[in-house]
């Protein structure tokens, strides 16, 4: 049968950011997929060598809006490890609260985009309405909706009052109640299951071999979540990763939906246990040495490699983002699929091109 190459992207309704896949097709079936990136590469890693290490907190936040807090957190944890800075307990708990709020709004954003991708507009609107409540909390606690700049080297530059913490618990409870009403659509709706079950299957072995991270790996049965290492205050909270075993688009949806509930629980645990005290420890001098810092972002593991030489400028800052690790899985999942399933399969890796094109 004759083969046709269909360029999917870089501009496509399902892709908010530019990514291209060259799809080699036989009729409607994909036989090969080759990714093309680099449309919007910004060279931020080079920029971090030119800025002072304290300014880089604001640079790395701009790698990605959706997981900006975790980018800054990974960077700050790396510098703190080089400079032996002990973050005060309250700062560690505040980091968990903001990080989990970011995970909730990232997953809700994704669930809405997924519903939109398969044409379920009312579901998309229901989910995004709840996401707005988190964005309002961000604004109220940090003065900005997306890039909140709450992290600093040594802890957090802002505190959250007792009244606000109570309000946050109330809001996440509201979101939980709202999600309880729509979850049955994701879990049981005929149309949703037709579009997701058995589509884009990634086995456990293949996911591990291809270096999948985050919900991609966990939906294929790999119990891998960096929060298990106990960074920030995670070691003092009850936490067990959400794992599914089917490895298809439906399993990835279930993992993210269940992780919203898990994040709500983690926020409530952190609010209940947060101690009084300072939110940051002062940072004196310049970093000298190298380290690796890893954090679990909504899309999976992010790795920061930092090399410093005792001056204000870093010698090297390298960032491996989760989408960069998950793109190779597409090369395995897409061959054998139908063209109509491509948007949904691509979406279930939760692609973040601004992360990839840092």
Partner 1 sequence: MIENLIEISKDELLGEVQKAKYEGYRFVTASCADTGTGIIDVTYHFDKDLALRNYRIKVGKEDEISSISGIYFCAVLVENEMKELFGLNIANIAIDYGGHMLLADVDFNAPLTRSQIVIEQRGGK
For residue 206, the minimal CB distance to partner 1 (Å) is 10
Q: Which residue has the tokens 């009729």?
A: 27
Q: Which residues of 211-235 are buried (b: 16+ CB within 10 A; e: fewer)?
A: bbbbbbbbbbbbebbbbeeebbbbe
Q: Check binding of 162 to partner 1 (CB under 8 A).
A: no
Q: How far is the CB of 224 from partner 1 (least distance, A)?
A: 7
Q: Which one-letter DSSP state was computed for residue 309?
A: E
Q: How far is the CB of 241 from partner 1 (least distance, A)?
A: 11
Stretch that binds partner 1, among 17-25, 262-270, 279-287, 317-325 (CB under 8 A): 317-325
For residue 357, the 8-state DSSP code is: T
Residue 37 interacts with partner 1 (CB under 8 A): yes or no: yes
Q: How far is the CB of 319 from partner 1 (least distance, A)?
A: 9
Site for partner 1 in 100-119 (CB under 8 A): none
208 interacts with partner 1 by CB under 8 A: yes
Alpha-carbon torsion (334, 340, 343, 345), positive or negative? negative
Q: How many residues bind partner 1 (CB under 8 A)?
A: 35
- Smallest gap, in angstroms, from Cβ of residue 58 to partner 1? 21
Judged by beta carbon, residue 58 or residue 208, the one nearer partner 1 is 208
Which 3-state string (H, E, C) describes 192-245?
HHHHHCCCCCCCHHHHHHCCCCCHHHHCCCCCCCHHHHCCCCHHHCCCCCCCCC
Site of tokens 């060598």? 49
Token pair 């080089």 in the structure block, residue:
82
Site for partner 1 in 283-312 (CB under 8 A): 289-292, 294, 301, 303, 305, 307
- Which element (helix H / strand E) includes 278? none
273 belongs to the binding site for partner 1 (CB under 8 A): no
- Residue of 43, 190, 238, 276 interacting with partner 1 (CB under 8 A): 43
Query: Could you give phi then psi for residue 330, rounded to 5 degrees?
Result: -60, -35
Taking the complex as a whole, how short is the minimal distance between the CB of residue 67 and partner 1, in angstroms?
17
Residue closer to partner 1 (CB basis): 45 or 140: 45
CA distance 67 to 62: 9
Helix (H), strand (E) counts: the chain:
13, 8
| Residues found near partner 1 in the complex (CB under 8 A) | 34-38, 41, 43, 45-46, 208-211, 224, 226, 228-229, 289-292, 294, 301, 303, 305, 307, 315-316, 318, 320, 324-325, 327-328, 331
């Amino acid at each position: 049968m004759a083969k046709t190459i269909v360029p999917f992207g870089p501009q496509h309704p399902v892709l908010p950011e530019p990514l291209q896949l060259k799809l080699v097709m036989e009729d409607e079936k994909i036989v090969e997929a080759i990714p093309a990136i680099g449309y919007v590469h910004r060279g931020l890693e080079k920029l971090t060598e030119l800025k002072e290490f304290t300014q880089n907190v604001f640079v790395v936040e701009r790698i990605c809006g959706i997981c900006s807090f975790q980018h800054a957190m990974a960077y700050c944890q790396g510098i703190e490890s080089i400079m032996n800075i002990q973050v005060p307990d309250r700062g560690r708990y505040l980091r968990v609260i903001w990080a989990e709020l970011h995970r909730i709004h990232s997953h809700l954003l994704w669930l809405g985009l997924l519903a939109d991708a398969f044409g379920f507009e009312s579901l998309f609107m229901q989910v995004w309405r709840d996401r707005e409540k988190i964005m309002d909390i961000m604004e109220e606690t940090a003065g900005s909706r997306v890039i909140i700049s709450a992290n600093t080297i040594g802890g957090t530059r802002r505190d959250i009052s007792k009244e606000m913490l109570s309000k946050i618990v109330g809001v996440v409870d509201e979101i939980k109640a709202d999600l309880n009403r729509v979850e049955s659509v994701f879990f049981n709706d005929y149309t949703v299951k037709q579009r997701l079950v058995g589509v884009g299957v990634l086995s456990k072995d293949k996911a591990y071999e291809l270096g999948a991270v985050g919900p991609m790996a966990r939906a294929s049965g790999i119990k891998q979540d960096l929060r298990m290492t106990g960074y920030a205050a995670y070691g003092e909270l009850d936490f067990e990763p959400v794992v599914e075993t089917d490895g298809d688009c439906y399993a990835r949806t279930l993992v993210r939906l269940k992780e919203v509930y898990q994040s709500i629980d983690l926020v409530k645990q952190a609010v209940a246990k947060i101690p009084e005290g300072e939110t940051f420890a002062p940072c004196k001098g310049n970093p000298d040495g190298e380290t690796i810092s890893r954090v679990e972002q909504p899309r999976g593991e992010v790795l920061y490699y930092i090399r410093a030489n005792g001056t204000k400028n870093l010698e090297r800052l390298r960032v491996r983002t989760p989408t960069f690790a998950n793109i190779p899985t597409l090369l395995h999942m897409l061959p054998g699929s139908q063209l109509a399933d491509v948007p949904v399969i691509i979406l279930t890796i939760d692609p973040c091109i601004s992360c990839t094109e840092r």
